[in-house]
Amino acid sequence: MKLRILRKILTGLLIAGTSAHLAAQDAPPYYQVEIIVLKHLDQSRTTREIPRVAEQEMADILDQDLPRLEGSTQPPAGDGLDGPNRAELYLVNENEYLLKEVEARLRKSGAYEILAHRSWLQTAPEAAEALELNLADLEINPAVATGGVSLYQRRYLHFAVDMSLGGGLNANPIGSAFQTIKGNAAPSIADSRRIRLEKLVYYDQPQFGVLAYVARSDFKPAD
């Protein structure tokens, strides 16, 4: 009788352990996503006929080696965002940003004004299930920029940017990428690119640009 009970206990523990292992294997990986929104200070090289190309300062930044993400990134308590229409997302503390040196280099160049720098953790759903993350959820002031971003996967990872400069910047748009807001043309970017892990991607428009960076993380949300 005791032997039978012991077997049942051991069988139950084995099943529970196997289920937990399979659940861990099936859990989608998390990625640390980081963006820097910047404004071009020099508009003299931008005309309707000649689109802006990446300046030498930006070309050098895109070519540099970036730090790898090592270990779990633990978000500050209470900064997890979730809801019925949003995948789990966790804001990352500024001291764990991966592009701090990139931001410093951009500022030092004198060619750009940094408008926003944000980083967060999220999974990458299939394209059909991808949801746009509103910039307001990233605590970016609408006076700076409005719109959203989205990380998703098809065969590869993709990152989409749909963003407009906010009216608080009093920008004078030049070029062809505009979005009309209350009768005013706001410079905007609407683009989706394939993402290579730990490689900078640059989304550019005559007035402003967005640097995006994605690294795989071993972060796991607390139960």
What is the pairing mode between strands 208-217 and 201-204? Answer: antiparallel
Amino acid in the structure at residue 124: A
Cα separation, 57 vs 87, in Å, equals 36
Q: What pLDDT does 206 receive?
A: 84
CA triple 67-70-73, angle to 5 deg: 110
Q: What pLDDT does 81 receive?
A: 60
Domain boundaries, the chain: 28-217
Strand partners, 184: 181
Question: 7 — phi, psi (to 5°)?
Answer: -60, -40
Cα separation, 142 vs 135, in Å, equals 8
Q: What pLDDT does 179 receive?
A: 43
Cα separation, 205 vs 171, in Å, equals 13
**Helical ranges in the chain per DSSP H:** 2-26, 56-63, 100-109
Strand partners, 165: 145
Q: What pLDDT does 197 receive?
A: 92
Amino acid in the structure at residue 98: L
pTM across the whole model: 0.73
Contact present, 205 and 175 (Cβ < 8 Å)? yes
Placement of tokens 């804001």 in the chain: 91
Instruction: Compute the CA torsion angle 129, 33, 148, 111 (nearest 10 deg).
Output: -150
Question: Pick from 51, 66, 56: which is nearest to 204 by CA?
Answer: 51
Question: What is the number of residues in the chain?
Answer: 223
Residue 126 DSSP one-character state: B
Q: What pLDDT does 87 receive?
A: 54
Q: What pLDDT does 210 receive?
A: 96
Q: What pLDDT does 6 receive?
A: 52
pLDDT per residue as tens, the chain (223 positions) = 555 655 555 555 555 454 444 444 577 899 999 999 999 887 665 554 444 555 666 766 776 666 555 555 555 544 566 543 455 789 999 999 999 999 999 999 888 999 999 999 999 999 888 888 999 999 999 999 999 999 999 889 999 999 999 865 444 433 334 344 444 578 999 999 999 999 999 998 888 999 999 999 988 877 6
Placement of tokens 């701090």 in the chain: 100
What tokens appear for 28 in the block? Answer: 């989608």
